[in-house]
Amino acid sequence: MANWIAATVFDIPLAHFAPALGERGVRQLTDLVEQRADDPERADDWGTAFGVRHLREQLAEISGDTDHYVEVLARSLTGPDQYVKIVRVLRAAGREAEATDWARRGLEAHPASPFKPQLTDELVALLIAGGKREEALSVRRDVFARTPLASAFAALAALAALAATARQLDSPQTVIWALDLMRVRLAENPAHVTELIACLRAEGLAEEAWQTATAHLDALSTYVLQDLLAEWRPVHPADSVVPYRRLIDLYLGESGNKYRYQYAVRHMKTLRDVHRELGTEPEFTDYVHGLRAEHRRKTSFLARLDKAGLAEWAPHAVRRSWCMYGGALLHDRRLPLRAGHPQRLSRLEIMADGSSHAPTRSHGLNAARRGGCSRSRSARSGRLRPGDGRSARG
C-alpha cells in the first residue's frame, strides 16, 4: 500500500489509511516520499513537488508531533491557508500564544490576499478568548479598511455588537464609521455600489439603499436590481418604473444568457402591472412600441412579447406589404392594422414602426398580382417571400 500511495496517489486523506499502513507502512511511505523528492529527473516537475509537499504534511500530521507538523508546514508559507493550518494545530495543542503570533504573522505577510478571511477569524477568536475585544475589533476594522466588502462589514458589525453588549466599545460608532468609509469609496469608484447596498440593507437602511441604487443603476447587476425591486415595488411603485426598464435592458443585453428574453418579458409584465396601478397605461404602450422598434431584429423576443399579450398597438400603426423579384421592390403599400390581429413575423411584411405582421391568404395573393409576382407555392399557401416569384408582369 505504501508503494501504491507514493507512486500514484497524492490527494487522498492519508489519515484514513494510517491504521492499515501501521507504523512500518508509515515509515516505508516516508522513505519513498523522500526518495521521490531527491530524484533529479523530477526536480523541475511541479506535480511531483506538490505531491511530495502534500504527503510530507499529511505524514507530519498523523505523526502526532505538533512541533514537527508546524515545522513541515512552515517550509511552504505560500498563502494564508498554511498559516491557518499552523494556527489550528497550535490551538488544538493548547498553545494559544504561539497560535496568535502565527496568525499575526500571516496577516502581515499577506495583507491583500483575498483568501485570508479564515485567518482573520482565527486571530479574532484567539483575541476574544484572551479577553482582548478591543484589539479584536481593531483587527476587524483594519481588514475592512483594506477590503471594504459586505462580508467584512458583517463580521465587523457582529463583533461591534458583541463588544457593545459587554459595554466595552460603542457599536453604533463603529458601524457609522464603516458605512461612511464605503460611501467615500463609492464616490471614488461606482463599482462599490453593490457592497454598500448590501451593507445598508443589513443595517435596515432600506431607504438609503434604494436611493443609492437608483443613483447608480448602470453599475448594478440584474440580480441585485431585481432583489431591490421585489422589495421596493410594493411600497413605492412609481419609483420602480425606471429601474424596471433598466432591468429589462440588462437582460436583453445578455447575449450569453439563453433565458434573457424569458426574464425580460416576465419583468415587462410586472412593469405593465405597475403602470396599471398608477393609471399610466398609455405610457407603457409607448414604451412597448419603442422597445419593439429598437429590437425589431430579435424575432424570438418579439414572439414572446406577442405570446405574453404585449403586442397592443395604437390605431395609427401601419404595416408595409412588399414583394420582391430579382432583388427589386415591386410592391409597397401601407395598410392600417386591425385591432386584435395576431402579430407574427413574416418575410413578406415589415411594420413601419419596426415590428412585423403576417399577411392573410387573400392579401398575399393580391400582393402577388399587384406587385407582379407569379403565384408560386408560397403564394398559393398564403405566404409570399422575397424572390418567390419566377417572373414579373409589366
The secondary structure of 328-378 as a DSSP string is EEEEEEEEEPPTTPPP---SSEEETTS-B-PPPHHHHHHHHHHHTB---HH
Both 324 and 299 in one domain: the answer is no
Distance in Å from the first CA to the final CA of the chain: 92
Q: Are 58 and 29 in contact (CB under 8 A)?
A: no
Asked whether residue 145 is domain-assigned, the answer is: no
Q: Is residue 61 in some structural domain?
A: no
Across the range 363-372, mean pLDDT stands at 46
Position 360 pLDDT exceeds 50: no
Residue 137 lies in a domain: no
Residue 48 has what pLDDT? 59
Q: What is the pLDDT of residue 65?
A: 85
325 and 376 part of one domain: yes
- 243-253 pLDDT tens trace: 999 999 999 99
1-28 pLDDT, tens per residue? Answer: 655 555 555 566 666 566 656 667 667 6
Question: Over 80: is that where the pLDDT of 67 sits?
Answer: yes
Q: What was the pLDDT predicted at 53?
A: 75
pLDDT at residue 61 in the model: 78
- The more confident residue out of 254 and 359 is 254
Lowest mean pLDDT among 121-125, 158-162, 336-340, 383-387: 336-340
Residue linked to cell 498553545: 95
Residue 319 is predicted with a pLDDT of: 39
On the question of pLDDT at 390 being above 60, the answer is no
| 22 found inside a domain | no
Range of weakest confidence among 55-64, 122-131, 306-315, 374-383: 374-383
Q: Would you state the pLDDT for residue 33?
A: 67
Could you tell me if 248 and 292 lie in one domain?
A: yes
Contact at 8 Å (CB) between 318 and 337? yes
CA distances (Å), 327 to each of 100, 321, 331, 356, 386, in order?
81, 15, 12, 20, 8
Kindly state the average pLDDT of the residues 296-312. 88
Structural domains in the chain (count): 2
Query: Could you tell me the three cell numbers for 47?
Result: 506535480
Closest CA to 364 of 354, 374, 351, 353: 374
- Give me the pLDDT at residue 19, please: 62
What average pLDDT does range 172-199 have in this prediction?
Answer: 93
For residue 363, is pLDDT > 60? no
- Rounded Cα distance between 274 and 351, Å, is 28
Segments forming the whole domain that contains residue 300:
237-312
Enter the C-alpha cell of residue 153. 462589514
Region 198-220: mean pLDDT is 93
Rounded-to-integer distance, Cα 247 and Cα 164, Å: 40
Where among 284, 312, 340 does a domain terminate? Answer: 312
The reply to whether 306 and 335 lie within a common domain is no
Same domain assignment for residues 324 and 366? yes
- Contact present, 161 and 208 (Cβ < 8 Å): no
Write down which residue in 312, 334, 354 finishes a domain: 312
pLDDT band for 362, please (50, 70, 90 cuts): very low
286 with 328, same domain: the answer is no
* 295 within some domain: yes
My answer on whether 285 and 322 are in the same domain is no
Question: Does 343 map to a domain?
Answer: yes
Based on the fold, state whether residues 246 and 306 are members of the same structural domain. Answer: yes
Domain assignment present for residue 254? The answer is yes
Q: Strand pairing partners for 356?
A: 350
Q: Where does the pLDDT of residue 37 fall: very low under 50, low under 70, confident under 90, or very high at 90 and above?
A: low
Looking at the fold, whether 360 and 294 belong to one and the same domain comes out as: no
Q: Do residues 130 and 100 lie in contact, with contact meaning Cβ atoms separated by under 8 Å?
A: yes
Please indicate, yes or no, whether residues 242 and 301 belong to a single structural domain of this protein: yes
Mean model confidence pLDDT for the chain = 76
Select from 312, 338, 367 the last residue of a domain.
312
Give domain status of residue 139, yes or no: no
Distance CA 213, CA 207 (A): 10
Backbone phi, psi, residue 109, to 5°: -75, -30
Q: Which residues contact 384 (CB under 8 A, 6 or more apart)?
A: 323, 348, 359, 364, 367, 368, 373, 376, 378
pLDDT reported for residue 347? 38
- Residues 55-59 have a mean pLDDT of 77
State the pLDDT confidence band at 110, using cuts at 50, 70 and 90: confident
Q: Across residues 286-300, what is the average pLDDT? A: 92
DSSP-derived 3-state class of residue 67: helix
What confidence score (pLDDT) does residue 35 get?
A: 65
Are 275 and 334 contained in the same domain?
no
pLDDT value of position 127? 93
Q: Would you give the DSSP letter of residue 217?
A: G
Residues 273, 324: one domain? Answer: no
Mean predicted confidence (pLDDT) in 60-70: 84
- pLDDT for res 323: 40
Helix axes 80-92, 66-73, angle to 10 degrees: 170
Which pLDDT belongs to residue 292? 92
